[in-house]
Amino acid sequence: MGKQLKIDMNLKTLVTLLLALSLANASYAADVYGVDPEHTFVSFSYSHQNYSIQTSRFDNVSGSIVLDEAASTGMIDMSIDMKSVSTGSAIFNKRIQEDDFFATESFPVATFTSDKIVFNKEAITSVQGILTIKGISKPVTIDVKNFFCSRSLLTLQYTCGANAVTRVNRSDFEMGKYVPFVGDEVTINIAIEASKN
Domain enclosing residue 97, as ranges? 30-196
Any domain includes 108: yes
pLDDT in tens, 86-134: 999 999 999 999 999 999 999 999 999 999 999 998 899 999 999 999 9
Which residues have a Cβ under 8 Å from the Cβ of 111 and sit 6 or more positions away?
Answer: 77, 78, 79, 80, 131, 132
9 pLDDT tier (thresholds 50, 70, 90): very low
pLDDT at 10: 54
pLDDT at 4: 52
Nearest to 166 by CA among 184, 187, 145: 187
CATH number at residue 137: 2.40.128.110
Any domain includes 157: yes
pLDDT in tens, 101-113: 999 999 999 999 9
Any domain includes 52: yes
Any domain includes 68: yes
Q: How many domains does the chain have?
A: 1
Phi/psi for 108 (5° steps) reads -75, -15
pLDDT in tens, 151-182: 999 889 999 999 999 999 999 999 999 999 99
Any domain includes 21: no
Residue 163 CB-density burial (10 A; 0-12 exposed, 13-18 middle, 19+ buried): middle
Any domain includes 47: yes
Global pTM reads: 0.83
Nearest to 139 by CA among 151, 126, 148, 150: 126
1 pLDDT tier (thresholds 50, 70, 90): low
Any domain includes 20: no
CA angle 82, 47, 87 (to 5 degrees): 35
Any domain includes 2: no
